[in-house]
Amino acid sequence: MSLKITATITVLIAFVLGLAVLMNYAKFERTFSNLTQSRLAFLIQDLRDTLEFGLDLGLDPAAMANTAAILTREATQDPHILSISVFDDQKRVLHQYQSDLLKHHPVAPLASAWLATVLQTIAKTPQHVSDSETLMVGIPLVNNFGRTVGALILRYDRSFYDQELQHTLFDLIRAALLILVATSLAAWLSVWLLFRSARRELRQVGAALEQFLENRQVSASPFEGDSALKVLHVAAEQKSQEFQQRLVQADRILHLEQRLAERIPSLPEERQRDGERQ
């Protein structure tokens, strides 16, 4: 019985811990995703401000010779940046930085439809999108006349993002398993201590009932203490002994009555025989 109770408690605790893991993981994923998007947005907005400073001076995006150096300097600050590209309003690549990781693990080309969406964006708000390999953020380049002259696209390694989520999930699962093991042991110990005295008393009652069914006399009760169950057992044992004694007495009285009943009809015949003899 204690194993069943412990198993039930363990299942309930596992269910609660599973819900807690899912809720905490979902909360962390949402927070980490927002943090990553904010960080990438900050990087590309900083690059846009630097490039638009040259546009405000009247320079053409294709003629800005220091653009490649600016992209390289920004990308070297984070090894997980795969590429930073500057496009003109005709979707042609003007300047581009590519990480060495792309030489060993090339990624899918940039979707033309999404690049068109970035170029058509009126507000200077970063546009986020992702695929199975990269996280992408894009922002339009606008000159001092308010005209979109190009776009800036940054692609980030998604494996870093996924690994962080997996590590967090594994940490949550490991912590939940440790808690589950500890609480299961505590529940088993508590149930065992709670039902230990009851099991002992039930075993004693069972032994006493077996002795009663086998008509064995118990000289003294093996119980100690003054619990209600022990008092009832002692009272029941005394009653059974008194009942057995009354059965023995009733059996003796029945034998005496049978003997008297057999003897009473024979008394007149004996007297008649005695008279004839005289």
Rounded to two decimals, the pTM is 0.61
Q: Is residue 29 part of a domain?
A: no
Q: Which domain holds residue 271?
A: 217-278
| Helix, strand or coil, per DSSP, at residue 154 | strand
Instruction: From 104, 135, 167, give the residue that closes a domain.
Output: 167
Token pair for 161:
């993002």
C-alpha–C-alpha distance, residues 63 and 79, integer Å: 28
pLDDT in tens, 159-201: 888 888 999 999 999 999 999 999 888 888 887 777 776 667 7
- What number of other Cβ atoms are within 10 A of residue 187's Cβ? 19
Read off the CATH number of the domain in which 61 is found. Answer: 3.30.450.20
Q: Taking the CB of residue 149, how many other CB atoms lie within 10 A of it? A: 19
- 62 and 131 in a single domain? The answer is yes
pLDDT at 223: 47
Residues 145 and 57 both lie in one domain: yes
Instruction: Output DSSP code: residue 222.
Output: -
Same domain, yes or no: 147 and 222: no
Q: Is residue 258 part of a domain?
A: yes
Position 222 in a domain: yes
Residue that terminates a domain, selected from 167, 187, 203: 167
CB-based contact 174:17 (threshold 8 Å): no
- Same structural domain, 47 and 162: yes
DSSP for residue 67? H
- Say yes or no: 161 and 46 in one domain: yes
DSSP result, 136-147: EEEEEEE-TTS-
The reply to whether 180 falls in a domain is: no
Domain membership of residue 92 (yes or no) is yes
Looking at the fold, whether 140 and 245 belong to one and the same domain comes out as no
Nearest to 250 by CA among 260, 262, 261, 242: 242
What CA dihedral angle connects 214, 216, 218 and 223, to 10 degrees? -20
Query: Per-residue confidence of the chain (278 residues) as pLDDT tens digits?
Result: 667 778 888 889 899 999 999 999 999 999 999 998 899 999 888 888 888 776 655 566 666 667 778 888 888 888 888 888 888 888 888 888 888 888 777 778 888 888 888 888 877 788 888 888 889 999 988 877 778 888 899 999 888 888 889 999 999 999 999 999 998 888 888 877 777 766 677 677 777 677 766 654 444 444 444 556 666 767 777 777 787 887 878 778 877 777 777 766 555 555 556 555 55
**Amino acid, single-letter form, for residue 250:** A
Instruction: Tell me: do 130 and 49 sit in the same domain.
Output: yes
Q: Are residues 45 and 154 in the same domain?
A: yes
Does residue 247 form part of some domain? Answer: yes
Burial of residue 23 (CB within 10 Å: 0-12, 13-18, 19+) is exposed
Residue 157 within any structural domain of the chain:
yes
What one-character-per-residue DSSP string does 91-137 give? S-EEEEEE-THHHHS--PPPPHHHHHHHHH--S---EEEE-SSEEEE
Q: What are the phi and psi torsion angles at 141 (to 5°)? A: -100, 125
Domain assignment present for residue 156? The answer is: yes
Token pair, residue 228, equals 């209600």
Q: How many domains does the chain have?
A: 2
* Amino acid identity at 261: A
Domain finish residue from 106, 141, 167:
167
pLDDT the model gives residue 171: 93
Tell me which residue of 181, 187, 133, 140 sits closest to 155, measured CA to CA.
Answer: 133
Determine the Cα–Cα distance for residues 132 and 129; give it in Å rounded to an integer: 11
Amino acid symbol at 256: L
Helices (H), the chain: 2-56, 67-75, 101-104, 112-120, 158-213, 228-263, 267-277
pLDDT tens by residue, 242-278: 878 878 787 788 777 777 777 665 555 555 565 555 5
